[in-house]
Amino acid sequence: MSDVTQRLAALGVAVPEVYLPSAGTDYSKWAVVACDQYSSEREYWEDVSRVVGSEPSALNLIFPECYLEDADKSARVEKIRSAMRSYLEAGDLTRQKPGFVLVERSTPFEKHPRKGLMIAVDLEAYQYGKGVKSLVRPTEGTIVERLPPRMDIRRGAPLELPHIMLLIDDPKRSVIEPLYARMDKLAKLYDFNLMKGSGRVRGAHVTSEADIAAVASALEAVADRAAYEARYGSPDVLLFAVGDGNHSLATAKAIWEETKKANSGDADIMSHPARYALVELVNIYDEGLPFHPIHRVLFKADERALMADLASAGASFEAMDWKTAVKKTDEPTSGEHRFAIVSPGSSGLVRFAKPRANLAAGTIQEILDAHLKAHAGTVIDYIHGTESLETLARKPGNVGVYLPPIDKSTFFGTVIRDGAMPRKTFSMGEAPEKRFYIEARKIVR
């Protein structure tokens, strides 16, 4: 498979050796949701702990972010490393032969299942920061101040368990979908219901040289430089865009750079497993992949001052009932950016006829950031869902801003032209739809 390996390497991809729970493990207790979910809801993670009990579980191998500020962080990190070593030594995890993992994820929220492919991505092909042109790029700004605590967790850990999702721009559905059409003929790895009503997941092993070569060929076609330049006007191919887990991938990159520096005299350092990160690849056009806008609520807000700032930035305002404003915000527009505004006493539609930013989120975020700097007592939160937004915005002193939906077809073009998007631009589903930890991979020799 050396030729295929080299072709994949040119695309920043490697075939991983994943570890899965050994026979007899209760997968419904093993798999837990991404650690950055329910970060303000300790009760969720406490309930997960009760569900898991003393059974082997990924819960013991991750650091839920709701605990990041606790005083016992160092002890918790060491406990995670110890559990990883224990699971490996006791045989609770079994290494699979090299192969991709085809994943089907069903949720209570979407009609169609989401299809994914677990691959190892080369961190040498990934960069974060302003103006990067690498094969793998973030879609949102990376806040480097958020990396050190995550680096503490990964540094010295023998395993990684990923919740990173990379997006691929594949309107022809050529990379993942042909495998999915044959999923029942592939070797089954798991099939089970996820805890706490989060849906179902099944996985199949992609190990044959023919299947892996087909993936390589399809990726090469997607990454064709001439086709990319004709479509986007840029010769710098963006093959994989980070959809979820941006700071986790940046953490893996930072640790890899540390590892290289610490082993600069090692002739084999470039074959170190820390060079790669295990991720799930998803086609942005997948019918089971929702793209939800993330709305804004201002607390302790000066509504008059906010409306004045919007007007100064070129916005017009039309008073109307909330549902009508939302409906008009959701309508397709030709270059215009629209937002529905709601507060305890009013609602209406804000229009920017000639926005400077490419995305509506960029238009509103620039104004809100300036407004927040000028009004120290006002704070912002980012909200999923129309009902939650209205409930919060109708409370005294609050103002809500409803953002329009995101067009998947413009997503890659926006990142290519404008770079990383404004923070909290989109969400790929609700919290229970996020990736659950199942597969692991060794990141030490």
> 250-265 pLDDT, tens per residue?
999 999 999 999 998 9
Angle at 93 between CA 91 and CA 99, to 5 degrees: 130
Residue of 445, 342, 441 lying closest to 84 (CA atoms): 441
Q: Taking a C-beta distance cutoff of 8 angstroms, is the pair 233, 225 a contact?
A: no
Q: Taking a C-beta distance cutoff of 8 angstroms, is the pair 206, 215 a contact?
A: yes
Burial call 314-331: b when 16+ CB within 10 Å, e when fewer:
ebeeeebebeebbebbee
- State the Cα–Cα distance between residues 218 and 179, nearest whole angstrom: 11
Angle at 33 between CA 28 and CA 39, to 5 degrees: 140
Over residues 90-116, the mean pLDDT reads: 97
Higher model confidence: residue 387 or residue 167?
167
- Residue by residue, DSSP assigns 311-366 as HHTTEEEEE--HHHHHHHHHS--SS-EEEEEE-SS-EEEEEESS-SSSSHHHHHHH
Q: pLDDT per residue over 377-435, tens digit each? A: 999 988 877 888 999 999 999 999 999 988 888 889 888 888 888 778 888 888 899 99
Residue of 188, 202, 179, 206 lying closest to 120 (CA atoms): 206
* Res 157 pLDDT > 70: yes
Residue of 248, 286, 299, 244 lying closest to 425 (CA atoms): 244
Higher model confidence: residue 141 or residue 91?
91
Supply the CATH classification number for the domain 293-405: 3.30.1760.10
* Res 1 pLDDT > 70: no
Over residues 63-81, the mean pLDDT reads: 93
Q: Taking a C-beta distance cutoff of 8 angstroms, is the pair 401, 296 a contact?
A: yes
Start-end of CATH 3.30.1760.10 domains in the chain:
293-405
Over residues 204-212, the mean pLDDT reads: 98
Predicted pLDDT at 133: 93
Over residues 164-177, the mean pLDDT reads: 97
Predicted pLDDT at 321: 96
The backbone torsions φ and ψ at residue 52, rounded to the nearest 5 degrees and listed phi first, read -70, -40
- Residue by residue, DSSP assigns 196-239 as TT--EEEEEEE--HHHHHHHHHHHHHHT-HHHHHHHHS-SS---
Q: Taking a C-beta distance cutoff of 8 angstroms, is the pair 110, 433 a contact?
A: yes
Over residues 118-143, the mean pLDDT reads: 93
Predicted pLDDT at 357: 82
Predicted pLDDT at 79: 96
Average pLDDT score, the chain: 94
Which residues have CB under 8 Å from 259's CB, separation 6+?
269, 272, 274
Q: Taking a C-beta distance cutoff of 8 angstroms, is the pair 258, 269 a contact?
A: no
Question: pTM higher than 0.75 for the full model?
Answer: yes
Higher model confidence: residue 166 or residue 417?
166
The share of the chain scoring above pLDDT 90, in percent, equals: 82
**Where are the extended beta strands (E) located within 34-181?**
93-95, 100-106, 114-122, 136-138, 159-160, 165-168
Q: Taking a C-beta distance cutoff of 8 angstroms, is the pair 13, 119 a contact?
A: yes
Give the least confident one: 100-104, 162-166, 222-226, 409-413.
409-413
- State the Cα–Cα distance between residues 119 and 8, nearest whole angstrom: 10
Q: CA–CA distance from 428 to each of 128, 179, 289 (Å)?
A: 20, 23, 7
Predicted pLDDT at 292: 86
Q: CA–CA distance from 313 to each of 34, 296, 357, 401, 409 (Å)?
A: 38, 18, 12, 16, 28
Across-strand partners of 20?
94
Q: pLDDT per residue over 318-336, tens digit each? A: 999 999 999 999 998 888 9
